[in-house]
Amino acid sequence: MHVVVTGGLGFIGSNFIRDLISENSDIFITNIDAETYAGKKDNLTDIEKKKNYQYFKGNIQDYDFIENIVKTYKPDAIINFAAETHVDRSIKSSQPFIETNILGTHTLLEVALNQKVKKYIQISTDEVYGSIEPPGKFIEVSQIKPNSPYSASKASGDHMVRAYYKTYGLNTIIVRCSNNFGPYQYPEKVIPYFISLAMEDKKVPVYGDGLNVRDWIYVNDFCWAIALVLEKGKTGEVYNVGNDSELTNLELTKKILKRLGKPESLISYVEDRLGHDRRYAMDSTKIQKELGWKKKYNFEEALDKTIEWYKNNREWIERRTKQTTFNK
């Protein structure tokens, strides 16, 4: 099988490529990435010379560029990880989110349709659903109610994906996931950001009262879910992927500090994010029952692994910018 992965130098995309290649010698991957601030080639230096991997630099909005690759290599599937993802950045400037998450998705769908690609998978987010009160959880038919420019752009892309299935019969699937964490995550996101700050005994900025709730999933568990969707996901379907590991941002921060042996006095409460969703929670029953997915890592174990990776890869962190605030 030949798979085109867009955004494959980013956090989830690079982990997915690494996992898929290591477990499937019969899969060939063509990786396309624009090499923005969050997507760097050193995320995949360990596999860049493998015979079943190739890489092209370019934007997913560039129709001719994408079409040329798909025409030349005739992939069986396109998996779109490429996206602007940071909520704070979308609040400051939404234009890049419109260009990549909406126009880029449209370009990929057009190419997939015109070149008769067998399967198109859109990687989306729980944020498209908006906020939900406990004990409720989002299911695949929950109403879409995005509350930030980022989530609105992702929701728009999802709607376009559905339209190409309904109107043109393109084999599309949407996968929505809760907060991912793990190695190679750009250090503007809350877990690597707080780890990098705490290691240097700097204040960690917690938004508002710190009681916003997120469900956390280890990136390799999500990558396995995507691999199952690639293998046997059903045309036109949406699959939610969650981990049943809900924590307030404050609880998460305290866990990180404790593991690093740092005092809670490093916590600094800052002005809340505009439009900050209070709680996300995903119901993964569908992907578990239909495709046989279940998590392999519990949260505590995965957090230990993640902290250890960042402690051992300070050079990697130093090569990235730290001028940011935090995640979802």
Residues annotated as catalytic are 126-127, 150
Q: State the angle between helix axes of 105-114 and 149-168 in degrees (0 to 180), rounded to the nearest 10.
A: 20
The helix/strand/coil state of 28 is strand
Backbone angles phi, psi at 57, to 5 degrees: -90, 130
Q: Are 197 and 268 spatial neighbours (Cβ–Cβ below 8 Å)?
A: no
**Beta bridge mates, 239:** 175
Residue 230: both structure tokens together: 């690639």
Looking at residue 26, its amino acid is D
Backbone angles phi, psi at 310, to 5 degrees: -70, -35
Backbone angles phi, psi at 86, to 5 degrees: -90, 120
The whole-angstrom separation of Cα 70 and Cα 52 is 16
Looking at residue 168, its amino acid is Y
Q: How many CA atoms lie within 13 A of 258 on its CB side?
A: 9
The whole-angstrom separation of Cα 165 and Cα 173 is 9
Looking at residue 210, its amino acid is G
In 3D space, the residue among 149, 146, 156 whose CA is nearest the CA of residue 92 turns out to be 149
